[in-house]
Structure 1
Amino acid sequence: MAVLVAYIDDSKSDSYLTMAGYSFVVGETHSFEKKWSDTLKYFGVPYLHMREFKKPNSVYEHLKSDPGKMASFFMMLVNAIQQGADSCVASSIRLGDLEEFNKDHDLNLHPCAVAIYGCLLNFSLNTPQDWRDKLEINFDHFERSMRHACMAEDYYLSDTSTKNIKNISFSINMLKKNENYKTIYQLQAADFLAWEVRKNLEDNKDFRPSHTARRNVALLQKEYEKYAAQHQNKHGRQPRERISYLELISGMGKPKTNIWTRDDLEEALTRHHDGWGGQER
């Protein structure tokens, strides 16, 4: 049995919404929790929350004023994740594309539900069968969270690509009222991942490779080189490479991630012959 702990990062003003998280083998989280807890204590930090980290006068000011110490702090957290988590998943929605898709097809798919659905697909289609026999998914509280989680389950179950893995048994749970990112280390790690994935996309939001290129490494490289040259001409520098994001995913094997663009949504539409089941109208 596996447990997936996930977090939604939505600035409500940027181009993307991201859900991301880590999977752990049930009963084998002690090492991760101890390393995470020890790191927080060593650096005098009560918990990790990336949005709070960026705010002025936060509990992280002593780290932000010392770049070397801050780098060590995050490196030790990355180490705890890479040694304790089994895999990571992430699903990002290009919000403008989803809005246009909904309008053109008279649908009302919700970005949070699509992000959860994307994570379910990523995990179930890329995970060994013995792990998929039973999966527990835990989410942080977010607006209308349980409703959107149920909608995501409908999107997933009505997707014909999942017909051969319908025997997966999963339960979607919200944290208890007295639980939140301040008390759940796995959720803090999920927040870290979701933040880095979304920020990495925002930093390079002008890079919009074709649907074909995203499935062909050689074509993708060519399109990135073209984007980099345009970026250099416009800004006088190469595109920003988010080192913290690269370090975070470097030890996780092949991360199970995807970006939902208009092309991906249109492709998914062909797999929902009988509708999406849980969409709002």
Structure 2
Amino acid sequence: MKNRKVITFIAYLWCFAILGSYSVWNFGSRFITPVNQPISQPESGVEYEKVVISSASGTELHGWLFPGNVDMPVIAVFHGIGSNKGKMLPRVKLLSEAGYTVVVVDFSAHGESIAEKITFGKQEAQDVDATIKYIRSRFAESKIGVIGISMGGAATLLSESKRDIDALIIEGVYAKFIYAVRNRMALKLGILEPAITPLMVVQLEPRAGARLDELQPITQIKEYQGALYVLGGKDDMKTKEKETLSFYKEANEPKQLWIVDGAKHEDLYNFDSQKYSENVLRFFQRFLLNEEISEK
């Protein structure tokens, strides 16, 4: 009888372990699985052209180019994980109305850019490189600005082409990928986070092809020599305020900081479109157009 109880207990443990492993594996799949989908075209009457850019990641990046005024700078907008170029259209409109040429693309495994997996910034950095190279090939003498949102900002800092960017805005960017995992697991699982985070992280290299030491944008911030504007939500629990502040602290001059009161890990344009528009346009006016901006 005693042996039977021991065997039953061990069997239950094995079942629990198998079920738990499957659950963690399945949970990890949610983050790397492609989010490809057709993207609705910009509204009728808007001048734009479709572009396809070959990335070293192996992906054909599908994007749009919105022509601006002659001799104006070009600004690329890079979306976050799970998003796509269509969701960047409010920012495109803001920048286009100010006269800038704007380029938006779907990252690998997002929108219309077909790929096998999301890599949290590794292959997406190659997508940034390809996009900046494309812009430079068409607008050789133009200054280049970038807005990088969450993973889009991480990918920009991890890219080789950051040296070619004159003015960069990063929004809600993780300092190190391990922090991003911990923060999200803590939100979902509470006190179980310390037990689950290692099981998530161990999947990173075999499934996403990236190592933790390759996903540390904070270590690259000193390499960026252009103007930087660091944005983050005061109540963001996925990219905490201290991470946002660390980018500002470590960055070279010139730099600016905006901690958005009341904002979580969300679209900061949607959260406060008026203030966002004012701050972003003033930043680009100052550092792309070299216009003197009086402080309010």
Whether these two folds match at TM > 0.5 is: no
TM-score relative to the length of structure 1? 0.24
- Structure with bigger RCO (C-alpha 8 Å, 6+ apart): 1
Pick the structure with greater CA Rg.
Answer: 2
TM-score relative to the length of structure 2? 0.23
